[in-house]
Amino acid sequence: MDNAVHSSLPLWACLASLLAAPVIVLFRREPSLREGATFVSAFVKLGLVLAMLPIVAGGKVIEFTLIDGFAGINAPIMFRVDGLGMLFALVASSLWIVTSLYSIGYMRGLHEHSQTRFFAFFAISLSATLGVAFAGNLLTLYLFYEMLSLATWPLVTHHQDKEARTGGRTYLTYLLGTSIGFALPALIFTWIKSGGDLSFGGDAILASAGLSHLQGLVLLLAFAFGFSKAGMMPFHSWLPGAMVAPTPVSALLHAVAVVKVGVFCILRVVTGVFGVQLIGPGGLDVGIVLAWIAAFTVIVSSLIALSQDNLKRRLAFSTIGQLSYIVLGAALATKLSVTGSILHIAAHAVGKITLFFCAGAIFVATGKKYISQMAGLGRTMPITMSAFFIGSLGVIGLPPTAGLISKFHLVMGTAEAGEKGLLLVFLVSTILNAAYFLPVVYQAFFPKAGTVPEGTPEKFSWSTVREAPWACVVPLSITALLSIILFFGSGFLRELVGQFVSGLGF
């Protein structure tokens, strides 16, 4: 690419949190210093990412080669920051700051054990997330993808009890199993078919590889199921299983970092490996198959979410649904749908993290996990519940929140692709989203007579408010406000994404 700028910024952004891990371990005696280290590295990381924003926004691409070519595989470990990578990095690093604040409150609130290990591995997994965001070719992407799976395992099994063990076991068998089982052979097959070039720049890797329809389909599905972090059915059940983890882990990793990495990889596969022409009807016409699998996942996961009483499991299944929106948008491979799916990464991240924060706050304050126990909660925890309301609007895609913009693009994209059936799927799923979020909010503020657990005051009054510690409440209100701000100020996001999408050669 002509406008490639060489700078080591992406490397330092990646290393910022990786280097924080040993520092955190060093300060394991002084908790305040340890938390300080996490914060410093979070701000440094965001600063580096923001430093790269103007360059990328100006249409340039930042490239940096860490280790040049391996003889056999002339695919170096290199970073290449473009619009898509920048957006995802922005979302991940900004939300990390908020989550750090939240997790300090949560861990201290619940006197969790071995917090040093928690914060260290948290930092390492963030650096892996940025690694994936900035990956310049498929090999680097796979490298950081595997690193993320391994770095998050200790977080998921943090409680070290029986449930954590089973949760961890499913988590790993799915993620490592599918990545070695499907993604590795697909990676090598792409590498052979493309004659040894794996980089995302320039035209798509397999554009000129002359694949047959069947080969293309098998390869696409191998990638889609290989990157099972995207939670496509039938390889989705690691996500509800991972709800065993403490809430900050679920909040950042399973709303923002881990799952978004999965979807990000699929977007890279669609745009970088196959190229939008090859996916769409003009080329091998394989995208539509993936779209219908995603649609199936959306409907089924929303139905399951409806039936879940445990709040975190409901949020988990809703995440699976939302992720499949993004995959759907990517699979349709029209200009609007791809833009919509990229925007939805940001919108859903902000919305879903708020909901997870609220779930954690409720657990810290009242110890309640099940929605049936949460009647009348609005009276004692007004801020949390209103943030929960805004978050759920964001996920459903209603006006004041950013969710609307991304869903609007997605729907317009589907219309552009002329897929009537998928339009219906969008409609039904939006209704289902509303069906499993709004009752929670309604019941919290206007509980029916019989359902209120005793001890909750009759009417709302400031005196009876018992919120979670401020360190939990402040972050969730920030993310709720962010969701609204993104609705109004989404100009720079759309411009960033638009520029990336135009480079895809529609």
Partner 1 sequence: MSEQLPAILLLSPLFGALITGLVGMTDHRRCFPILATALTVSLFCAISLLAQVVKSGPIDYFVGGWDPQRVPLGIGIQLRIDGINALLLVVITTVALLTSIYSIRRAGEENTEKTPQFYMLSQMLCVGLLGITVTADAFNLFVLVEVSSLTSYALVAMGSKPRGTMAAFNYIIMGTIGASFYLLGVGYLYMKTGMLNMAAIHQILSDPNVGHSPTVYVAFILILVGVWTKMAFFPLYGWLPNAYSYCPSTTSCLLAPLMTKVSVYVMIRVMLSVFGSEWIFQSLGWSHTVVWLACIAIVAGSVLALAQVELKKMLCYLIVAEVGYMVGGAWLANHWGMVGAIYHILSDAFMTLCLFIAANIFIKNRRAERIDQLEGLFKKMPITTTGFVIGALAMIGVPPTAGFFSKWYLLRGGIESGQWGYVVALLISSLVNAILFFRIFEVAYFGKNPVESHDAHHDHEDETQPSSVGDSTLFSGEGRPTTVIPLLITAAIIVLLGVFNGPIVEIIQQALDGMPVVGAAIR
* Residues that bind partner 1 in the complex, under the rule CB under 8 A: 28-29, 31, 67-73, 77, 107-108, 110-116, 139, 142-143, 146, 150, 154, 157, 159-165, 168-169, 172-173, 176-177, 180-181, 184-185, 188-189, 191-192, 367
**Which lies closer to partner 1 via its Cβ, residue 72 or residue 455?**
72
**Which lies closer to partner 1 via its Cβ, residue 151 or residue 374?**
151
4-6: strand order across its sheet: 4-6, 61-67, 77-81
* Smallest gap from residue 123 Cβ to partner 1 (A): 16
SS3 (DSSP) at 100:
helix
* Smallest gap from residue 474 Cβ to partner 1 (A): 21
Give the DSSP letter string of 437-468: HHHHHHHHHS--TTTPPTTS-SS--GGG--PP
* Smallest gap from residue 192 Cβ to partner 1 (A): 6
The pair of structure tokens assigned to 413 is 């994209």
SS3 (DSSP) at 62:
strand
Residue 142 DSSP symbol: H
Q: How many CB atoms lie within 10 A of CB 450?
A: 6
* Smallest gap from residue 489 Cβ to partner 1 (A): 39
**Which lies closer to partner 1 via its Cβ, residue 87 or residue 120?**
120
* Smallest gap from residue 475 Cβ to partner 1 (A): 20
- Kindly report the length of the chain: 506
**Which lies closer to partner 1 via its Cβ, residue 165 or residue 213?**
165
Half-sphere exposure for 163 (CA within 13 Å, toward CB):
8
**Which lies closer to partner 1 via its Cβ, residue 35 or residue 419?**
35
**Which lies closer to partner 1 via its Cβ, residue 104 or residue 291?**
104
Half-sphere exposure for 273 (CA within 13 Å, toward CB):
34
* Smallest gap from residue 248 Cβ to partner 1 (A): 14
Largest CA distance in the chain: 73
SS3 (DSSP) at 145:
helix
**Which lies closer to partner 1 via its Cβ, residue 367 or residue 491?**
367
d(CA 104, CA 303): 34
Contact predicate 437/317, CB 8 Å: no
* Smallest gap from residue 419 Cβ to partner 1 (A): 35
* Smallest gap from residue 146 Cβ to partner 1 (A): 5
d(CA 307, CA 303): 7
d(CA 75, CA 454): 64
**Which lies closer to partner 1 via its Cβ, residue 196 or residue 418?**
196
- Angstrom CA distances, 76 to 84, 85, 180, stand at 21, 18, 20
* Smallest gap from residue 184 Cβ to partner 1 (A): 7
* Smallest gap from residue 163 Cβ to partner 1 (A): 5
**Which lies closer to partner 1 via its Cβ, residue 206 or residue 482?**
206
**Which lies closer to partner 1 via its Cβ, residue 143 or residue 434?**
143
d(CA 91, CA 2): 27
* Smallest gap from residue 110 Cβ to partner 1 (A): 5
d(CA 320, CA 237): 9
User: Which of 487, 384, 495, 486 lies closest to 445, judged by CA?
Assistant: 384
Q: How many CB atoms lie within 10 A of CB 159?
A: 16
**Which lies closer to partner 1 via its Cβ, residue 50 or residue 184?**
184
SS3 (DSSP) at 394:
helix
d(CA 100, CA 129): 16
